Structure 1
Amino acid sequence: MDEASDDADGGRSSTALPLVTSLSLDGDSSRIAQARHVATAFLVKARDHVGIPVAKATVEIVQLIVSELVTNARKYAPGPALLKLRIHGMVLTVELWDSSPVVPAAKAANPERVGQHGLEIVAALAQTLTVEATTVGKRITAHITLDVTMA
């Protein structure tokens, strides 16, 4: 489960939406960096080959969101996970499914707490964040607006 797939445009320039890519993740923590690279490449491809405006700041925000979600999945879920990125219109959906049935919740702000800020960070950066139990595990979904004025 370590292949990245990219169905964004079938290898050719296109404006067909939605654009989708995914990355299967095993228990190897090196996948965190790979997930960030997949997200960056996906956004750059959307910008350069499809013409979707994506600001550098948006790429950096998405890298952080992906990093936090994948880090939490690797830390707390014993089995496989799946990262899926999708652009539809001007919204990027970052979805992380993992095999842990434990549904996390953001903790109350506490400047003295060390660690466990990942979900708080994602909630602060995304326009919307949902966490839901699935038949096997859970799915965390963040939506990020690709703002035309930022490009």
Structure 2
Amino acid sequence: MQASYALDAGDGCIAQARHHVRVFLDRAVAVCLVVVPARARDLTQLVVSELVTNALKYAPGPVTMKLGITVERVEVTLWDSAPVMPVARTPDPGRAGQHGLEIVKAVSAYLVIRPESSGKRITAHIALPDPPGKASLHHLA
């Protein structure tokens, strides 16, 4: 299952993107019967928040978000118009801000950043199965 969304650059853009994630994951559970643990829901919203925040901060113009899901992972793809490839900075607990890409890398099973003819595309893969020994809230219901 996949869905694409054009995001405006207004004040509610991040909240709008997180809302799209919630609706998409709810639909995946209801229609495709995919088990989406609470951890994966939270991490997907975190990744979307960080990627959209960076796009709004550094890229002029439109932002497009694509969500995909399989039984193994959620894929979050964000396209923006900035041609500069982001680079995670060296961890520094004393640094205020600019930890977004570090966070995305840390919580993603896989991260791909590709230049496009116009801008760039960033795809983060979030694993769906809970780590061994962790019960999913959906299994407890």
TM-score (norm 1): 0.83
CA distance in 1, matches of 2:118, 2:70: 26
Higher relative contact order (CA 8 A, sep 6+): 2
The runs of at least 4 consecutive aligned structure 1 residues that moved more than 6 Å come to none
- 2:110 paired residue among 117, 122, 128: 128
Pick one of 36, 39, 55 that aligns with 1:54: 36
State the partner residue of 1:73: 55
Shift of 1:29: 3.1
Aligned pair partner of 1:83 in 42, 51, 65: 65
Give the whole-Å Cα distance in 1 for the aligned partners of 2:37 and 2:71.
15
Q: Give the whole-Å Cα distance in 1 for the aligned partners of 2:10 and 2:113.
A: 23
SS of the equivalent of 1:141 reads strand
List gaps (5 residues or longer) in structure 2: none
RMSD over aligned Cα, in angstroms? 1.3
Q: Quick one: which amino acid aligns to residue 20 of structure 2?
A: V
Confirm or deny that 1:42 pairs with 2:24: yes
Which segments of 5 or more consecutive residues in structure 1 lack a partner in the other structure?
Answer: 1-18
Provide the C-alpha distance between the structure 2 equivalents of 1:116 and 1:85, rounded to a whole number of angstroms. Answer: 24
Aligned-residue offset at 1:89: 3.8
Q: Which residue of 1 aligns with 2:100?
A: 118
Deviations 1:34-92, CA, capped at 9 Å, x for gaps: 10010011111111232100011211111100000011101110110100001134221
Distance in 2, Cα, partners of 1:29 & 1:123: 25
- 1:23 maps to a residue whose letter is Y
Q: Report the Cα offset of residue 115 of structure 1.
A: 0.5
Does the CA-based 8 Å contact 2:50-2:101 persist in structure 1?
Answer: yes
Quote the sequence identity (%). Answer: 47
Report how many aligned residue pairs link the two structures.
Answer: 133
